[in-house]
Amino acid sequence: MPLVSPPEFPKAEFNILDYGAVGDGLTKNTDAINKAIAACSENGGGKVIVPAGIWLTGPIEMKSNVNLFLEKGAMIQFTKNFDDYPLVLTTYEGTEQYRCQSPISGWNLENIAITGYGVIDGGGDAWRYVKKSKLTESQWKKLVSSGGVVDKKNQWWPSEQAMNGQRILDSLLEANGELTKEDYRKVRDYLRPVMVNLVKCKNILLEGVTFQNSPAWNIHPLMSENIILKNVTVRNPWYSQNGDGIDVESCKNVVIYDCKFDVGDDAICMKSGKNEFGRKRGIPTENVIIADCIVYHGHGGFTIGSEMSGGVRNIKVTNCNFIGTDIGLRFKSTRGRGGVVENIYIDNIYMKDIPTEALSFNMYYGGQAPTEDIPLAEKLKNRKVLNVDETTPQFRNIFLNDIYCIGAEDAVIIQGLPEMKIKNIVLNNVVMTSKRGVSIFDADGVELKNTKIISREPVIRIFQSKNISIENFDTDLSLDQIIKLEGNETGNIILKGKNAELFMKKSKCEGVSENVINVE
């Protein structure tokens, strides 16, 4: 990975006040801010100053060689008038489609930055639908009384057009075989944008600023390179649908450090396009370092997928805290995606109060995985083996060291596909307390070394997996059953070092071949 250096800018300054901006929170400053940015770029670049104040605005279009600098007390507030955001052809959730223009966007730019001390608010509460189950009764009543409509699933929408948007698009696609820009225009309220969308850009710096309240994803660099996020705060309500923190899609040479995330969906996420569109684009996300970050809430603290059809590789995550995230370290995909995720190195991760899995590999995202505690015969019956082709996703060569978690539902779940097992996963020096321990389904080549899991029995469950090495493993030795082996494809389970003989005696095999578990 090459050294990623921040962009440099001339010393020239362009204050938005000089272009007619008024920071009273009432005056719309779209033209003034964009004129200041254009003037800065046309004159060789520099710093566009946003002073203290509330700067109401429509979409901001970044230009090359511009550093948008927010002074202390500055808040950029994007309008909640959907008509201010024209339809543009872009990429959303891994596929190409029309969406409303992002509050901040840039295409084919070099040397751009958003820095300083202020706040950028995307006005996302006007765009997002909200589930009643995620609010208190008083919060729900207040939201409903503000306007909008409620559907049959007790979900609030800003308008009927937004509520019916997907149904209308589906019917138009079925009738015509394709969707036009005019078709999308009919459901404009439904097409909420990501907040910061930087496409095919080079040399990007985001530093010091708070990004919050995005209509959909918060920060979305796409097909860009040489990206630095430093000391950035990313916030969304915990109930915000698609309220991701940062989604790095098909980018390379990225550094994210000293950042804080408190969001409604995945916090720090690696993506590379969805299904055929992502495979055809064929641009992986690669060469990424994530360090010294804190995630307070999110569906996943660090996530890869599920739109990873162009591949994700060469990722380093180190020295991060995940506090109360739904899942800690999250790897997800599903049949149909294709793509390869490989060469992932994660160490020194500290987690607390994880409601589900501290570490999750799920190749059935959005589908039905055979992981339930049901009889073996039923589990095998539900397990379908498909042919391997370009749509089959692959996860391999993932190394995790010094991973700690106090409190989780499951410590580790590794869930591969029967036709494409998750391969070469190494967990070293892992310490976790959880209700359930380690579950390994359809994997080939998993090493558990110097690991301690305190959970109820069985601590380790292995189903239709092979080449599993368990070395110097520690747990509550008073349990009656430590290891449970299931399935006729399960084989070559090796116990080494500390407690190996005891674990051999406290193992249970069901439907496996003879002598599949051995002590070395």
Residue 6 has φ and ψ, to the nearest 5°, of -70, 150
What phi and psi, each to the nearest 5 degrees, are found at residue 277? -60, -45
User: Whole-angstrom Cα distance, residue 361 to residue 507?
Assistant: 24
Contact between 78 and 103 under an 8 Å Cβ cutoff? The reply is yes
- CB 510: neighbour CB atoms within 10 A? 13
Spatial distance between the Cα atoms of 210 and 117, rounded to a whole number of angstroms: 8
Name the catalytic one among 299, 326, 410, 442: 299
The DSSP code sequence of 307-358 is SBTT-EEEEEEEEEEEES-SEEEEEE--TT---EEEEEEEEEEEEEEEEEEE
Partners of 414 in the β-ladder: 361, 440
Q: Tell me if residue 299 is catalytic.
A: yes
Output the six-digit token pair for 451: 């690991």
d(CA 379, CA 390): 27
Q: Which residue has the tokens 């279009």?
A: 61
Q: Which of 244, 247, 262, 265 is catalytic?
A: 265
User: Which stretches within 127-268 are classed as H helix?
Assistant: 137-145, 160-163, 165-176, 181-185
- In which element (H, E) is residue 95 found? strand 95-100
Phi and psi of 369, rounded to 5°? -85, 145
Q: Are 393 and 421 in contact (CB under 8 A)?
A: no
Cis peptide before 306 (omega within 30 of 0): yes
d(CA 477, CA 482): 8
User: What's the CA gap between 36 and 28, in Å, rounded?
Assistant: 15
What are the C-alpha distances in Å from 449 to residues 112, 349, 357, 468? 44, 16, 19, 11
Single out the residue of 468, 470, 412 nearest to residue 443, CA to CA: 468
Closest CA to 414 of 424, 405, 406: 424
| Residue 386 CA neighbour count, 13 Å, CB half | 13
- Tokens 């920060």 locate to 219
378: enclosing H helix or E strand: helix 376-382
Amino acid identity, residue 308?
Answer: M
Q: Is there a catalytic annotation at residue 265? A: yes
What residues act catalytically? 265, 299
